[in-house]
């Protein structure tokens, strides 16, 4: 049987195993498991000849061409599934700098084992000498394509709360990468893929760099020299320190998350300019149109979250992606995020006008404790002067008996109370 013309030139493991098993059974028709195991060495030796007969990966279509690599969709003949394969461009294979950067991208992807990060499965060299790695093939749309479609009249029905819930997956993926000692450095809507079932994936870790996380000593040693200096990233999504060419850490990714959140909310990028130099100048100065000017209907709570994530100074941003995610969850619940400074009266209003059955949460305790102290002092002063001993007993009994039903009623009538709209005050 001749090899299909459009293949990646990688040996099929299944074909090699079947070839070795067929040879063994031809010699001994009643070969058992131990006999087959004994032939493992011979089976491995036949893999080279098997590769000329059947290739493991069959090319299906081209998915794109980048500065260093070619990405294709292939069919895995062994595991019977679609995969994406990225190959180093042939003219670059002899360039050690490009090879180091290509291998770095593959190893970082393999290192980050998270549901919202595209997994890398294999790394190798095909029969033509091309270096490649395989990864999950994601069918869907990027955040950039989603935002563009939402700008049109015929865009998908995806309201802001639904977009924010998708955004939570992005925050969690970035938080995981930071915990594993990796800073992405090029977070942007074009590098976030949304699958057909609501699953989200962070793509393209090619210019990532190691940071102070755990288990990354090998990363510091193998980090390509070409990525250690100079500007790297997309200007509109760079942090101010990144635009200045300074060394960046996790807070730089937090800034990029803030830009994406701004764009996902208002459907426009906060940083604009006619030239790259103009864009970088705005980024360095923290000069952008505030979210509530770009979208007056948005709530002060969500605007405060964006402003904290996009703070000019790294120390003023969220410390972790998970902290940003928690504030988004508070906004979605109609509660006050940590990034927003507001009055007790506003907290009280949100507390009573938000549909939230689990109300007794830590951030509400400040208000509840203060209210309880004031009410207790007032009630105690009145009781001490106006109530006799036996009346005291009646009040305590009434409280013990009546409080649980009151709390239960409060929790079960949440849906009958007016629902606060987090998109505006």
Q: What is the DSSP letter of 266?
A: H
Tokens 């490649």: give the residue: 132
Examine the residue annotation and report whether 333 is marked as an active-site residue of this protein: no
Residue 192: φ, ψ to 5° = -120, 120
Residue 77: φ, ψ to 5° = -70, -20
Question: How many degrees, rounded to 5, is the angle at CA 419 between CA 418 and CA 422?
Answer: 145
Work out whether the CA dihedral 178, 182, 183, 187 comes out positive or negative.
Answer: negative
What SS3 state is found at 104? helix
- Marked catalytic residue, from 76, 186, 204, 253: 186
Q: Are 239 and 255 in contact (CB under 8 A)?
A: yes
End-to-end CA distance of the chain: 71
Tokens 């450095």: give the residue: 185
d(CA 354, CA 33): 65
Q: Are 125 and 132 in contact (CB under 8 A)?
A: yes
d(CA 66, CA 47): 32
What SS3 state is found at 74? strand
Non-local (6+) Cβ contacts of 398 within 8 A are: none
CB atoms under 10 Å from CB of 20, counted, come to 21
Q: By C-alpha distance, which of 44, 52, 58, 59 is closest to 13?
A: 44
d(CA 209, CA 220): 8
Q: By C-alpha distance, which of 259, 319, 264, 314 is closest to 289?
A: 259
Q: Are 324 and 171 in contact (CB under 8 A)?
A: yes
Beta bridge partners of 210: 182
Work out whether strand 192-195 and strand 200-202 pair parallel, antiparallel, or are unpaired: antiparallel
Catalytic residues: 186
């Amino acid at each position: 049987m001749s090899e299909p013309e459009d293949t990646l030139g990688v040996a099929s493991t299944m074909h090699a195993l079947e070839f070795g098993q067929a040879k063994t059974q031809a010699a001994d028709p009643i070969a058992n498991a131990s006999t087959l195991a004994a032939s493992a060495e011979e089976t491995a030796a036949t893999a080279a000849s098997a590769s000329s007969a059947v290739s493991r990966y069959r090319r299906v279509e081209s998915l794109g061409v980048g500065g260093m690599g070619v990405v294709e969709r292939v069919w895995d003949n062994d595991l019977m599934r679609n995969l994406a394969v990225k190959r180093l461009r042939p003219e670059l294979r002899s360039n050690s700098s490009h090879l180091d950067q290509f291998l770095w991208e593959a190893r970082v992807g393999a290192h980050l084992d998270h549901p919202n990060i595209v997994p890398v499965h294999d790394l190798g060299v095909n029969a033509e000498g091309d270096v490649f790695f395989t990864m999950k093939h994601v069918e869907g749309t990027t955040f950039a394509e989603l935002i563009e479609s939402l700008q049109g009249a015929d865009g998908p029905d995806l309201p802001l709360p639904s977009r924010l819930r998708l955004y939570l997956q992005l925050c969690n993926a970035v938080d995981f990468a930071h915990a594993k000692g990796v800073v992405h450095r090029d977070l942007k809507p074009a590098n976030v893929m949304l699958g057909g079932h609501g699953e989200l994936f962070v793509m393209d870790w090619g210019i990532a760099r190691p940071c102070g996380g755990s288990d990354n000593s090998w990363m510091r040693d193998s980090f390509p020299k070409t990525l250690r200096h100079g500007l790297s990233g997309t200007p509109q999504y760079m942090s101010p320190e990144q635009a200045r060419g300074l060394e960046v850490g996790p807070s730089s990714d937090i800034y990029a998350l803030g830009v994406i959140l701004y764009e996902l909310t208002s459907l426009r990028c906060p940083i604009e300019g006619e030239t790259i130099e103009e864009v970088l100048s705005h980024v360095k100065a923290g000069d952008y149109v505030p979210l509530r000017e770009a979208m007056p209907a948005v709530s002060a709570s969500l605007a405060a979250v964006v402003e904290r994530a996009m703070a000019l100074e790294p120390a003023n941003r969220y410390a972790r992606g998970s902290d940003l995610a928690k504030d988004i969850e508070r906004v979605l619940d109609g509660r006050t995020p940590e990034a927003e400074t507001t009055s007790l009266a506003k907290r009280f209003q949100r507390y009573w006008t938000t549909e939230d059955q689990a109300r007794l949460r830590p951030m509400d305790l400040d208000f509840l404790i203060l209210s309880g102290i004031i009410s207790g002092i007032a009630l105690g002063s009145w009781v001490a002067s106006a109530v006799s001993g036996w009346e005291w007993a009646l009040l305590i009994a009434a409280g013990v008996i009546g409080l649980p039903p009151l709390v239960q009623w409060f929790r079960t009538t949440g849906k009958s109370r007016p629902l606060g709209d987090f998109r505006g005050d």
